[in-house]
Structure formats: C-alpha cells, structure tokens
C-alpha cells in the first residue's frame, strides 16, 4: 500500500487541480447559527463543478497519471458523484472513462455521467457487483482503475476543500464532514489536524449505513450491511486505508436518522436557499442534534454536494402525503 497522504500532498493537489475546479464559497447563516447554538461556516461544495467535492479527488487522480497510463483511459464504480467527477476529469484530459453504476443510481446522476462523456455499465446494487463489473472492464480495456476513495491521490484531492476552508476561517473549533468510503473525511482530517491540531474532526453518518461508526467503536474494519438510506452517496463501506486515517485523526463519528437528514436538508434549502443532497445534509444534521460538545463553537461544515433528484424530494413527498390524508 502506498504511503498515506500528507498535508504537503494536499497542497500539491490544490495547485494541480486549481485550473479545473471552483474555489467554492464559505457561507454563513445567522438563523441557522441561532438554531444550532453555534457559529457555522458552510464550505459549499454543492456549488462545485459537477455538483460535488468529488471533482477535486478525481481531477487530482487523473492529472497525476503518467501520459502512457492516462491514454489507456480510466475505470471506476460509483453511485453517482464520483462517476460524474471522473467522467469530467477524463474529458478534461482527453481520455476515455468507463463508469460502473448500480441499477438504483439516481437518474440525475446517470445523466450527468453521460453528459460528461462517460460510458456507463450498470450492475446490481452491491459492492461485490460493482467491483466484479469494474474488473471485467479493466481486463477488457487495459484502462486504469481510479477507486472512489481507496486511492491516495483521491484522498489528497478531497482534502483541498478543508485546506481552503481553514485558509478563510482559521480559528475553527470543529470540522464536520460526511463519511461513506472515507475519502472525504480522511482528506478533511489530514488537513484539519495538520493545520489546527486542537480542532475536533467529526464524521457524520446515516444510522442506516453505520459501518464507520461501528468500526471506530470496535477498532476493526466492520462490514457494511444492507444500507437503506436516502443518502445514496453514503452507501459505501470504509477500506483499510481510510479506516487507518480515521482511527488516527478523527475524534468521533456521529449517527443521524433519516428524519434528521430530511430536517437538515429542508432547513438548508429554506434558510440558505442552497440545494443540498441528502448525503450532504448529514453533516448539518449532526449540528442540529445540539450536542453539548458543539455548543458555542465555531464549526466548519463540508457541504459535500447538491446533486438532487428533483422528482424525489423527501420533504415534498411528505407534504404530498399529508395533503392527501
């Protein structure tokens, strides 16, 4: 296994990807501060190219490849945001991208992948099916696998969001990011603990997909059971690389319910006028639990993405049911 990424790797990644991504804004909201009992700083990766932070890691990984490897193209498996990000990064470099997506991937994310020129192969919605399908494509094409999170260049790229956040708000007490496979939280933790060691780093995870929470408690890598959550981007399990980083640098993982995710998503839409997806809302949902350890703190929240299926808004469906009752 390659060495774990460092702050220097994150800084190099920032320089490499700068021409290809947005430096997203850090936004605040007084009404949400009052609601949370803390001072909140939202790093708005929902306003990023491709609609999520994933373009950071994908661009760093694709543009790190030597020319002879890049020419063969890239392959990945993803439920959506990494898929779109890798397709776009490959297009930017002028190389092909083969994307394995589960059959239940949101239609909006599938369209985004196709729009960036990615060639989609659908598979059953399991990690085993994703990996076996990707392996078949690799053997057929000779392309390079760019794993969604088990890749040091991906992790370093994701860490650039927190690097930017701490450049703008250097006195944060807490940084919160969603956790799925752990690439974003790993990069977040490396950047935060390197630049501000006293800051707490918290992972936010759906209670219905709680492998990171269980792994942190047991001290060993726990499998992800069937994850039935509206946070479709958080249905992957940790790998050994990301688990090692989380154990070393993350203070805790906090679980949130489906109801808490919807509540956080709705408040963000209504109060900040920002479109965030359920997977992104989990970080703010942790804040809204009003944990005593967060009271009065300066809290950085990585708003990871805004790729929502507008035909399946959770609060809209709840309102429709209420109206019909």
Domains of the chain: 7-52+151-315 (3.40.50.1100), 55-145 (3.40.50.1100)
Share of the chain above pLDDT 70, in %: 96
pLDDT band at 323, cuts 50/70/90?
Answer: very low
Report phi then psi at 237, rounded to 5.
-100, 160
Looking at residue 320, its pLDDT comes to: 42
* 231 or 197, greater pLDDT: 197
Mean pLDDT value of segment 118-132: 91
Looking at residue 1, its pLDDT comes to: 67
Mean pLDDT value of segment 42-66: 97
Where b means 16+ CB within 10 Å and e means fewer, 14-52 reads bebbeebbeebebbebeebeebbebbbbbbbbbbbbbbb
Q: Is the pTM of this model over 0.85?
A: yes
Beta-carbon neighbour count of residue 65 at 10 Å?
Answer: 17
pLDDT of 139 > 70? The answer is: yes
Looking at residue 316, its pLDDT comes to: 67
Looking at residue 317, its pLDDT comes to: 57
């Amino acid at each position: 296994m390659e060495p774990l990424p460092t702050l220097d790797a994150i800084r190099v990644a920032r320089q490499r990807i700068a021409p290809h991504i947005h430096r997203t804004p850090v936004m605040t909201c007084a009404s949400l501060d009052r609601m949370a009992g803390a001072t909140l700083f939202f790093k708005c990766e929902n306003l990023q190219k491709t609609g999520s932070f994933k373009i950071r890691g994908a661009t760093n990984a694709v543009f790190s490849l030597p020319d002879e490897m890049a020419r063969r193209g890239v392959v990945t498996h993803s439920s959506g945001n990494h898929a779109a990000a890798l397709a776009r990064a490959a297009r930017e470099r002028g190389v092909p991208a083969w994307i394995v997506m589960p059959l239940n991937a949101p239609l909006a994310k599938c369209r985004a992948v196709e729009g960036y020129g990615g060639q989609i192969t659908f598979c059953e919605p399991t990690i085993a099916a994703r990996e076996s399908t990707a392996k078949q494509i690799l053997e057929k094409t000779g392309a390079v696998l760019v794993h969604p999170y088990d890749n040091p260049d991906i992790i370093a790229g994701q860490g650039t969001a927190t690097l930017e956040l701490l450049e703008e708000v250097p006195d944060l007490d807490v940084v919160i990011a969603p956790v799925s496979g752990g690439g974003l939280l790993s990069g977040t933790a490396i950047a935060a603990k390197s630049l501000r060691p006293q800051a707490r780093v918290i992972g936010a995870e759906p209670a219905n997909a709680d492998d990171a929470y269980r792994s942190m408690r047991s001290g060993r890598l726990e499998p992800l059971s069937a994850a039935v959550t509206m946070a479709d981007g958080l249905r992957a399990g940790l790998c050994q690389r990301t688990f090692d980083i989380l154990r070393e640098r993350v203070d805790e993982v906090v679980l949130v319910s489906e109801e808490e995710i919807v509540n956080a998503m709705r408040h963000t839409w209504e109060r900040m006028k920002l479109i965030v997806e359920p997977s992104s809302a989990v970080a703010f949902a942790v804040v809204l639990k009003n944990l005593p350890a967060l009271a009065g703190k300066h809290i950085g929240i990585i708003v990871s993405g805004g790729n929502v299926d507008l035909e399946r808004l959770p609060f809209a469906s709840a309102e429709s049911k209420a109206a019909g009752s």
